[in-house]
Amino acid sequence: MRVLITGITGFVGSHMADYLIKNVPNIHIYGLRRWRSRYDNVQQLYKNPNVTFIEGDLTDRSSLNRAIKISKPDIVYHFAAQSFPESSFVTPTLTLTTNVLGTTNLLEELRESTECDPVIISVSSSEVYGNPTKDEIPIKETNPIRAANPYSISKVGHDLMSQYYANAYDMKVIITRMFSHEGKRRGKLFALSSFAFQIVKHEKSEEFNKEGHWCEIYHGNLGSVRTYNHIDDAVHAYWLAANNCEYGEVYNIGGDETYTVGGALDMLISKSKNPEVFIKLQDPDRMRPTDITLQIPDSTKFREKTGWKPTKGLEEICDDLLEFWRSHKDFWRDPEIFPEVQLIQPDPWFDYRGEMWTFWEKENEVLPKGHEFKISKFTRSRKNVLRGLHGDKVTWKNITCVWGEIYLVVVDNRPESKTYREWDSFVLSERNHLSVLVPAGFVNGHLCLSDECLFHYTQSYPKEYVDWMDQDVVKWNDESIGIDWPISNPILNWRDK
C-alpha cells in the first residue's frame, strides 16, 4: 500500500506516519513537507526505508503534481494546513490561501492524475461549527456552519471544496471534522501544550521550590468547553475512516471526556512536581478577538460506521504532554553523556521594539581560568551540508544557531577520558535560542537541517593559538563512534570526506 501524507512534519501527520508503520504491513509512506518545515516530529522516520520525503507546497501546483507522480498513492491523508487559530487573526489572507486554495490545488491535481485513484481523507475541523446554541449540543454533522474566526472560515472552504470534488467528479473523498485532540508533540501555541510547557519551564528553573517564589501560568479563556481526544485514538480513527466510511460524507470524530480549558489546566498543575507553587494569570494577548467556546461532539455516525471508540482520556493527555516537555531534546534536555558540555538557555528581554537574548556577560564563570572568548565567527550553510568534526585540546567554543536549524554533534576526543569517543547531539534553531558550550578536547560538527542555516560560534584560547589546519579531524561516519546522523549522504568538503 502506498500512502501520501501532506503535512507529515506536523503534529497529526507525524503521528499518522508512526501509526501506519507500526500497524499496517507492506506500506510505503510518502510525506509531503515544505523546505522550511521543522524536523523535530519526524526524526524517527528519516532512516526508515519505508518512508520517502517529498518537498512541496500546497500553493505550488507543480510540486503537488510531482509528489503525486512519485507517490502514486492508494490513500491520501490531507493534514497540511495553516492550523493555528491565533495566527489566522494576524495572517487571514495566508490562512485562506493555504487552506482553501491549497486544498483545491491538491484535489485538482488528484482529479487530473492518470496515475492513481486514491481514497482521500480530507481533514476539516470542528471549528466550522463555531458557537452552537445550547439546544444544539451535542454537535451533529447537520449542525449549522457558523465559522467564528479566519481559521474556521478557511476550514469551511476546505470542507465545502472537498464535498464538491466528491460530488462533482465521483472522487473518493471522505471529510472528517475532528474535535479537540492532544498529546505529545503538540505545538506550544496550543493551550494545553502551552500550559505543560510553562509548568516544565518552571520545574527546570533554579528558583523552583524556593521559599516565597511563585510560578505563573499565563492563559487565555479558561471557560471554553472542550471534549478531548488523545492523538493515538485520533490517528486510529483516520485509519478506520479510510477503510470504512462512505465517499462524499462528513463525519464528526471526538472523545468522551468534556472539560473546561481551566479544568484541563488544573489537571496539568496537579501532575506537576509541586502544585502548590503555581498561580494562574490571564494574559490579554492570549484572548482571541472571537472565540469558539462550546465544543461537544456527537460522533455516533462515525462510531456506528467504523466501530471506533476512544481508549484514552485527559489523564493520559496530561501525562504525555508533561513527559514530552520534560524530555524534549531541543529545549530542556541537559547533556546526558558529558557533564562538561553545557546546553545554555539564554536570558530573554522583550519590549515593544522586539527581543534580545543574552548568552554571556563579560565575566563568565563557566570557562576555566585563563580563558576568554577572543574569536567570533559566522558560518552559513545550505541544506544537507555537514561541517566537521573538528576541535583541539585548548579551544572552548560556544555555538548558537542564528537562523534555520542545525543538528550539532560533539565527540569526546580525549584519550585519557572515560567517555573517549562517545558522542552526544543537540538540535539548535532560531526558534529555541539555545547554545552549546563545547569544552577543549572535544570535536564538534553540524549538519544543516533547514534550507539554509547561519550559525555563530565564539572561541576561547589561553595563550597558545591553534591554526584551523592543525585542528584534530574525526571522520563524520567513523564506524567506531557510530554517530546517528539524520542523513546518510551529506555534502562534505575535501577535508571531511
pLDDT in tens, 121-170: 999 999 999 989 989 999 999 999 999 899 999 999 999 999 999 999 99
Beta bridge partners of 377: 457
- Do the Cβ atoms of 455 and 406 come closer than 8 Å? yes
The pLDDT assigned to 121 comes to: 98
Burial of 137 (0-12, 13-18, 19+ CB in 10 A): middle
How, if at all, do strands 28-33 and 51-55 pair? parallel
Q: In this structure, what C-alpha cell is assigned to residue 223?
A: 471557560
H or E element at residue 244: helix 231-244
With a CB cutoff of 8 Å and minimum separation 6, the contacts of 362 are none
C-alpha span between 149 and 159 (Å, rounded): 15
The pLDDT-based confidence of 465 (bands split at 50, 70, 90) is: low
Separation of CA 439 from chain center: 30
- Do the Cβ atoms of 397 and 459 come closer than 8 Å? yes
Beta bridge partners of 60: none
The pLDDT assigned to 362 comes to: 47
Mean pLDDT of 185-204: 90
C-alpha span between 304 and 306 (Å, rounded): 6
C-alpha span between 5 and 76 (Å, rounded): 6
* Percentage, residues of the chain above pLDDT 70: 90
| pLDDT over threshold 70, residue 428 | yes
DSSP per position, 183-219: -TT--TTSHHHHHHHHHHHHHHSTTTT-TT--EEEEE
| pLDDT over threshold 70, residue 96 | yes
The pLDDT assigned to 345 comes to: 63
The pLDDT-based confidence of 365 (bands split at 50, 70, 90) is: low
Query: Is the pLDDT higher at 23 or at 473?
Result: 23
Report helix angle 102-112 to 61-71, nearest 10: 50
Q: For cell 571531511, name the residue.
A: 496
The pLDDT assigned to 463 comes to: 59
C-alpha span between 314 and 455 (Å, rounded): 40
- Do the Cβ atoms of 139 and 126 come closer than 8 Å? yes
C-alpha span between 77 and 105 (Å, rounded): 15
C-alpha span between 415 and 412 (Å, rounded): 8
Report helix, strand or coil for 77: strand
276-304 pLDDT per residue, tens: 999 999 988 788 777 788 899 999 999 99
Mean pLDDT of 366-394: 82
C-alpha span between 14 and 37 (Å, rounded): 12
> Could you give the domains of the chain?
2-326 (3.40.50.720), 342-473 (2.60.120.10)
- Do the Cβ atoms of 459 and 373 come closer than 8 Å? yes
- Do the Cβ atoms of 476 and 423 come closer than 8 Å? no
C-alpha span between 420 and 448 (Å, rounded): 26
Query: Is the pLDDT higher at 39 or at 199?
Result: 199
- Do the Cβ atoms of 86 and 190 come closer than 8 Å? no
Query: Is the pLDDT higher at 484 or at 63?
Result: 63
The pLDDT assigned to 120 comes to: 98
* Least confident interval from 350-354, 396-400, 423-427, 464-468: 350-354
8-52 pLDDT per residue, tens: 999 999 999 999 999 999 999 999 998 767 777 888 897 799 999
* Least confident interval from 193-197, 360-364, 436-440: 360-364
The dihedral through the CA atoms of 279, 281, 286, 291 has a sign that is positive
Separation of CA 43 from chain center: 11
How, if at all, do strands 257-260 and 225-230 pair? antiparallel
**What is this structure's pTM?**
0.73
How, if at all, do strands 452-461 and 372-382 pair? antiparallel
With a CB cutoff of 8 Å and minimum separation 6, the contacts of 161 are 100, 103, 104, 107
What one-character DSSP code corresponds to residue 100?
I
| pLDDT over threshold 60, residue 353 | no
Taking residue 296's Cβ as centre, other Cβ atoms within 10 Å add up to 16
Report helix, strand or coil for 434: coil
**If you average pLDDT over every residue of the chain, what do you get?**
89
Q: In this structure, what C-alpha cell is assigned to residue 260?
A: 473546561
Query: Is the pLDDT higher at 484 or at 6?
Result: 6
C-alpha span between 48 and 18 (Å, rounded): 11
* Percentage, residues of the chain above pLDDT 90: 64
The pLDDT assigned to 287 comes to: 84
The pLDDT-based confidence of 258 (bands split at 50, 70, 90) is: very high
Q: In this structure, what C-alpha cell is assigned to residue 180?
A: 479537540
Closest C-alpha among 269, 287, 286 to residue 278:
269
Mean pLDDT of 339-350: 65
C-alpha span between 260 and 262 (Å, rounded): 5
C-alpha span between 437 and 414 (Å, rounded): 16
